Chains A and B, each alone.
Chain A
Amino acid sequence: MDFKDKLKEKLHQKFPSVEFVFEEFRGELTIKFDKNAIVEVAEFLKTDEELSFKLCEDVTGIDWQKKRDRFTVIYQLFSLTNKFRLRMKCDLGDEWSIDTVSSVWRSSNWAERETYDMYGIIFNNHPDLRRMYMPEEFEYYPLRKDFPLMGVPGSIPLPKK
């Protein structure tokens, strides 16, 4: 049994009530599931001795704009012992928020802040959800599709000449 099948079986066994959708593209596995299960699944993927996805490489988002579920959050995981990359996707639905996984992987703390900064997605229970790149008084979310490329004039004040 190769690692992908083992992973699928383990997830089904551990979370019988959660519906997983598996997608494979060019050998990379993506799992989609309900956003309410994110912390438990993340915890399991990290702490399970065989899977041991110890590395959370990135957390980012997608703005679909016209789809009913506007935002999707993506987690890129890596298992050092199995040399395996895994992608987790969660649709956010109407409420643009998801529980934080920074309690599981500390490295996701800043990645989640960046996602919040760029998309305005709220990460519940995040220890320090401030803007990462933009000035703190900035009111918009630049990577949303409805944000104009050149920004909103006057939204970031410049020093006087």
Chain B
Amino acid sequence: MGLEAKLMNDGFLTTTIDAVIAWARKNSVWPMPMGISCCAIEMMAVGDPKYDIARFGSEVMRFTPRQSDLMIVAGTVTFKMAKVVRKIYDQMPEPKWVIAMGACTSTGGMYRSYSVVQGIDQFLPVDLYVAGCPPRPDNLLNALIQIQDKIGKTRARDFQNNPKIEKAAD
């Protein structure tokens, strides 16, 4: 512990670059609010002072996909909308995460019908499903905390030399 102890005395902190990047990433998750139907109302409630998503560093809802890390798909995705959702997802820079918020988004929910996609995992890689119709704001906050845990476990090299990412860039 020679070097660390010496640096600590001088007011320095040692860590790994992976840990710093993961820590920075997980505490500043910028969500892309893909609010399609009523779940979006609960998503707005998450932003208000009562539930306050800012406590977790995610208050900057970006309405452009190019500045966000996390897409919260909140609402019923129809087949026609699926193309749009995918297009927006493709525009988000890597690394990126997806929360499927609510029953409709996760499974089609009560819309067992020809026009509704029965779960967005048919065309998007989903990281987390949130149960509820619509989920309470606390439930979405819980999802965000779990996503933060997931992001905290990533390392910088997880996103390097990834053939999937390079393919998307082409």
Is B123 in contact with A150, judged by CB distance below 8 angstroms? no
Q: Is A93 an interface residue (CB 8 A)?
A: no
Interface size on B, residues (CB 8 A): 15
B114-A148 in contact (CB<8A) = yes
Residue with the highest number of chain A CB atoms closer than 10 Å, among B79, B87, B112, B122 = B79
- Given A135-B80, A158-B79, A159-B83, A149–B112 Cβ distance below 8 Å? yes
In the complex, whether A160 has a CB less than 8 A from a CB of chain B is yes
Q: Which residue of B has the minimal Cβ distance to A140?
A: B114
Of the candidates A135, A150, A159, A161, which one forms a contact with B113 in the assembled complex, judged by CB atoms under 8 Å apart? A150
Q: Do B115 and A151 touch across chains, with their CB atoms under 8 A apart?
A: yes
> Which residues does chain B contribute within 8 Å of A135, judged by CB atoms?
79-80
- Band of interface residues on A: 10 to 19
User: Are the C-beta atoms of A149 and B113 separated by less than 8 Å?
Assistant: yes
- Give the residues from 80 to 135 in chain B that come closer than 8 angstroms, CB to CB, to chain A: 80, 82-83, 86-87, 112-115, 117, 122-125
A159 to chain B: which residues have CB within 8 Å?
82-83, 86-87, 123
**Across the interface, which residues of B come within 8 angstroms of A147, CB to CB?**
114
If A158-B123, A159-B86 touch, whether A142 touches B115 (CB-CB below 8 Å) is: yes
Among B87, B114, B124, chain A packs the most CB atoms within 10 A around the CB of B114
**CB <8 Å contact, A161 and B80:** no
B114 with A161: CB separation less than 8 A: no
Docked pose: A150 CA to B114 CA in angstroms: 4
Interface residues of A in 123-140 (CB under 8 A from B): 133-135
For the complex, what is the distance from the CA of A126 to the CA of B82, rounded to whole Å? 30
Whole-angstrom distance between the Cβ of B19 and the nearest chain A Cβ: 31
Q: In the complex, A159 Cα to B88 Cα: how many Å?
A: 12
What residues of chain A lie closer than 8 Å to B124, measured between beta carbons? 161
User: Complex formed: what's the CA distance from A150 to B117 in Å?
Assistant: 10
CB distance from B59 to the nearest CB of A (A): 30
Q: Does A18 contact B (CB under 8 A)?
A: no
Per CB-CB distance, the 6 closest pairs between chain A and chain B, nearest first, are A151-B114, A159-B86, A156-B79, A158-B123, A159-B123, A158-B82
A residues neighboring B (CB under 8 Å): 133-135, 142, 147-152, 156, 158-161
Residues of B within 8 A of A (CB): 79-80, 82-83, 86-87, 112-115, 117, 122-125
Pairs A–B under 8 Å by Cβ, sample size 11: A133-B80, A134-B80, A142-B114, A149-B113, A151-B113, A151-B115, A158-B117, A158-B122, A158-B123, A160-B123, A161-B122
